[in-house]
Chains A and B, each alone.
Chain A
Amino acid sequence: MGMTITEKILAKSAKQARVSAGENVWLDVDVLMTHDVCGPPTIAIWKKEFGEKAKIWDKEKLVIFPDHYIFTKNSHANRNVDILRQFANDYDLPNYYDVGTERYKGVCHIALAEEGFNVPGTVLFGTDSHTCTSGAFGMFATGVGNTDAAFILGTGKIWEKIPETMKFTFKGKMPPYIASKDLILQILGDIGTDGATYRAMEFDGEVIDSLSMYERMTLTNMAIEAGGMNGIIAFDDTTKKYLSEIGVTEYDIFESDNDAVYHSKFNYDVAKLEPLVAKPHSPDNRDTVRNVEGTKLTKCYIGSCTGGKITDFRFAAELLFGNEVKVTTFVVPASTAVAKQLEEETLKGISLKEIFEKAGCIIAESSCAACLGGPSDTIGRSVEGDVVISTTNRNFPGRMGSKSSQVYLASPLTVTASAIRGVITDPREFL
C-alpha cells in the first residue's frame, strides 16, 4: 500500500519506514517558528518547565518574526517585542528579525518563504494556525500552541497524530476573473470549517501546476479554515525555480504514491467556478459575488499572509490602473520585500505603489495589522457598523475588530473591483 506525500514526510521525521493515518508518532522538528503574540508565553513556559537546564535544542532551527502587533502604542504589545529582543540577545539567536531594523520582515508565513526556511520534505511547526501556509513547498507545516512550542524549543521533538489525507484536484484553465482565493472559498463552502479537521489537504491538478508559489500559498494558508492539520502541494519546477532564486538547493522531494490511501477526493473544473465571497461570520459561508453584488461597503482591505502577497497586489493594480477607490481601501503588504516590490514593479510604466496612491488607497507598513483586529490603534481595524470586504482569511465575529462589523472574504480581484464601486462588485465588470 502506498503513502501520501504527508505520510512520507512524517515517516521520515518519525524515523519509521512507514506511518499510517491515526497513528501517534514523535517527530523530529526541522524548524520552529514563533512571533510576538505567542513567543513570550512560549519562552516563559520553556523557562519554567526546563528550569536551570533550559537549553534551546538548535538555535539555527528557531525562527522568530515579530509581526502581529508592531505599529501600535499599546505598551503591553510593545513589551512582548521587547521580550523577544531580549531573548534573541541573551541566546545570540541567528534568526531573529527585529522591528525597526533592516532585518524586519513582516508577516511570518510570507517571510518564512522569502528567507528560505520553507524546505521541501521538512517538518515545520509554528505558534500560529496559518503555519500551514508553508505546505505549498512540498513540506509538512502546522500550527501548535505555546506549550507544544516550548516542548519543541527544549527537545526538538513533538507528538503528532498522522492525519488522513483529503485530495482536491483542479482541472481546466484558470479564467482571468478567478484567483486561488476563489478555489479555497469553493472548497470551504463544500466541506465547512470542520470538513478537514485533523486531516491533510493535498492540492493537485493542472490548475495547481500553473499557479505561482504565492498563489499556491493562498490555498495552503486557508487549509486551517477547514480545520486541516496541514495543506500540501508537491514540489515541481515552479517550486524549484523559486527556491533556486533564493539559494535553497538542498532538499528531499516526496510525491504521493498512485496507490496511496485517501480519506476522500474532490474534483473541480475551474472553468465552471464563479468569483466567490465568504459572507459574515464564517469562512465557509460561501456565496457567489453576483448574489451579494451591490452590498454597500465602508472599508476594503488588501493584506495579510493570505492576500497581501505580490501576486495579490498585481491583481489589484491591474484593476485599479486609471481608477479611483470609492471607499476607504487599505493596502498592507505582507512583508517588507513585498512593499519594496510595490515600489520597483511597474505596470504600463507606473509603479504599483503609485497606482495605489493615485487610486486613493491607504498604504500601511508590513505587519498582520487589522487581519486579526489587534490593539485599538491598529490601522484598518474594523469599528462598529463597518461592512468590510477583505482578502484575509477569517471573518468570525470580532476577528477584524468590532464584533458588530460585517466582514466578507474575497479574492484580491473581487475586493479591488468592490473598492472601485464602493459596493460588492464582480471583477468581471472590469475584465
Chain B
Amino acid sequence: MENKITGKAYVLGDNIDTDQIIPAEHLVYSTSDPEELKKYGHYALSSVPIEKAGLPYGGKPFIVGENHQSEYTIVIGGTNFGCGSSREHAPLSLKVAGVKVVIAQSYARIFYRNSVDGGFLIPYESQFKLSDKIKTGDFVEVDVEENKIINHTDGKDYQLNPLGDVFEIVKAGGLFEFARTSGMI
C-alpha cells in the first residue's frame, strides 16, 4: 500500500450508483482477460449524466475518447457512494481506469466491502462534504498514515476518518492477502 497518493481529483455528487459507475450492459466482459479488462476502464463512470460529470461545473467526462485510463486518480463523492447493485465490476472499473482512492461522505455497504476485500482502491470517508470544497482537476495528495487529504491547488487540507477495522485488509491488499498473512487460508 502506498502511503502517499497524489493526482488530480474528479468530483462527483451524492448517490453515485453502480449503474453510473459501470452500466449493466458492459458487465459481459471478462474480468481476467487483460485486453477485455480495459473495457471496464473505458466505460468507468460513463453513465454519470454529463452535467454532473466533474463538478462543480460538470461537462468533464471521466474518460476521454477511446482511452481506458483516466487523467484523474482520486475520486471525490458525496453521500451514499456506490449504492445499488453488488457488482464488484464497479470498484474494478475505477481501478482499471487508474483510480487509487475514493473519498466520499458515506458509502453503500457492498461497494465499500468490494473496494476493501477486492483490494481495488481505498474507500476513505470524509468528515463532511468535500465535493463542495475540492474542484475537478485540483491536484491533491492523500496521506494514508495521517488520514488526510491535502489540496495543493488551494493549499487547504482536510482530515479523513481512519479506516478502522478494515485497515488491516486494506494494508494487506485485499481479503485473500489478509487471510493468507493471518494464517486463515
Report the Cα distance A397→B80, complex, angstroms.
Answer: 15
Question: Is A116 at the interface (CB under 8 A from chain B)?
Answer: no
Q: Which residues, 30 to 46 on B, are CB-close (under 8 Å) to A? A: 30-32, 36
Question: Is B24 at the interface (CB under 8 A from chain A)?
Answer: yes
Question: Is A128 at the interface (CB under 8 A from chain B)?
Answer: yes
Question: Is A279 at the interface (CB under 8 A from chain B)?
Answer: no
Q: A151-B176, A154-B185 are in contact. Are A145 and B28 (CB under 8 A)?
A: no
Q: Are A396 and B20 in contact (CB under 8 A)?
A: yes
Q: Are B30 and A40 in contact (CB under 8 A)?
A: yes
Interface centre among A24, A50, A126, A398 (most CB of B within 10 A): A398
- Minimum CB distance partner of A150 in chain B: B176
Q: Which residues, 358 to 378 on A, are CB-close (under 8 Å) to B? A: 372-376
Q: Are A394 and B175 in contact (CB under 8 A)?
A: no
Encoded as 1 (CB less than 8 Å from any A CB) or 0, chain B from 158 to 185 comes to 0000000100000000111001000011
Q: Are B86 and A128 in contact (CB under 8 A)?
A: yes
Question: Is B145 at the interface (CB under 8 A from chain A)?
Answer: no
Report the Cα distance A40→B30, complex, angstroms.
Answer: 8
Question: Is A323 at the interface (CB under 8 A from chain B)?
Answer: no
- Minimum CB distance partner of B108 in chain A: A227
Report the Cα distance A24→B85, complex, angstroms.
Answer: 23
Q: Are B19 and A394 in contact (CB under 8 A)?
A: yes
Specify which of A24, A69, A151, A398 is in contact with B19 (CB 8 Å cutoff).
A398
Q: A127-B86, A398-B47 are in contact. Are A148 and B117 (CB under 8 A)?
A: yes
Q: Are A372 and B24 in contact (CB under 8 A)?
A: yes
Question: Is B29 at the interface (CB under 8 A from chain A)?
Answer: yes
B111 to chain A, nearest CB (A): 8
Question: Is A193 at the interface (CB under 8 A from chain B)?
Answer: yes
- Minimum CB distance partner of B88 in chain A: A145
Report the Cα distance A148→B15, complex, angstroms.
Answer: 23
Q: Are A193 and B25 in contact (CB under 8 A)?
A: no
Report the Cα distance A44→B33, complex, angstroms.
Answer: 10
Q: Are A229 and B109 in contact (CB under 8 A)?
A: yes
Question: Is A49 at the interface (CB under 8 A from chain B)?
Answer: yes
Chain A, interface size category, equals: 35 or more
Specify which of A77, A150, A161, A193 is in contact with B80 (CB 8 Å cutoff).
A193
Question: Is A399 at the interface (CB under 8 A from chain B)?
Answer: yes
Question: Is A48 at the interface (CB under 8 A from chain B)?
Answer: yes
Contacts of A150 in B (CB 8 A): 176
Contacts of A144 in B (CB 8 A): 86, 110, 113-114
Specify which of A40, A77, A397 is in contact with B49 (CB 8 Å cutoff).
A397
Q: Are B175 and A151 in contact (CB under 8 A)?
A: yes
Q: Are A372 and B85 in contact (CB under 8 A)?
A: yes
Specify which of A41, A161, A198, A373 is in contact with B88 (CB 8 Å cutoff).
A41
Q: A151-B117, A193-B83, A398-B47 are in contact. Are A49 and B109 (CB under 8 A)?
A: no
Q: Which residues, 83 to 117 on B, are CB-close (under 8 Å) to A? A: 83-89, 106-110, 113-114, 117
Question: Is A197 at the interface (CB under 8 A from chain B)?
Answer: yes
Encoded as 1 (CB less than 8 Å from any B CB) or 0, chain A from 52 to 74 comes to 00000000000000000100001
Report the Cα distance A375→B23, complex, angstroms.
Answer: 10
Question: Is B118 at the interface (CB under 8 A from chain A)?
Answer: yes
Report the Cα distance A193→B85, complex, angstroms.
Answer: 13
Q: Are A147 and B185 in contact (CB under 8 A)?
A: no
A14 to chain B, nearest CB (A): 15
Q: A77-B28, A396-B17, A397-B19 are in contact. Are A147 and B88 (CB under 8 A)?
A: yes
Interface centre among A79, A126, A127, A227 (most CB of B within 10 A): A227
Report the Cα distance A37→B26, complex, angstroms.
Answer: 10
Question: Is A76 at the interface (CB under 8 A from chain B)?
Answer: yes
Question: Is A306 at the interface (CB under 8 A from chain B)?
Answer: no
Known interface pairs A155-B184, A373-B25, A398-B20; 8 further A-B residue pairs with C-beta atoms within 8 A, sorted by A's residue number: A48-B32, A77-B28, A129-B110, A194-B83, A197-B80, A374-B25, A376-B25, A397-B48
The 8 A-B residue pairs whose C-beta atoms are closest, nearest first, are A145-B88, A76-B28, A145-B114, A194-B80, A143-B86, A147-B118, A129-B86, A398-B47
User: Which residue numbers of A lie inside 8 Å of B, CB to CB?
Assistant: 24, 37-38, 40-41, 44, 48-50, 69, 74, 76-77, 79-80, 126-129, 131, 143-148, 150-151, 154-155, 159, 161, 193-194, 197-198, 227, 229, 282, 372-376, 394, 396-399, 401, 403
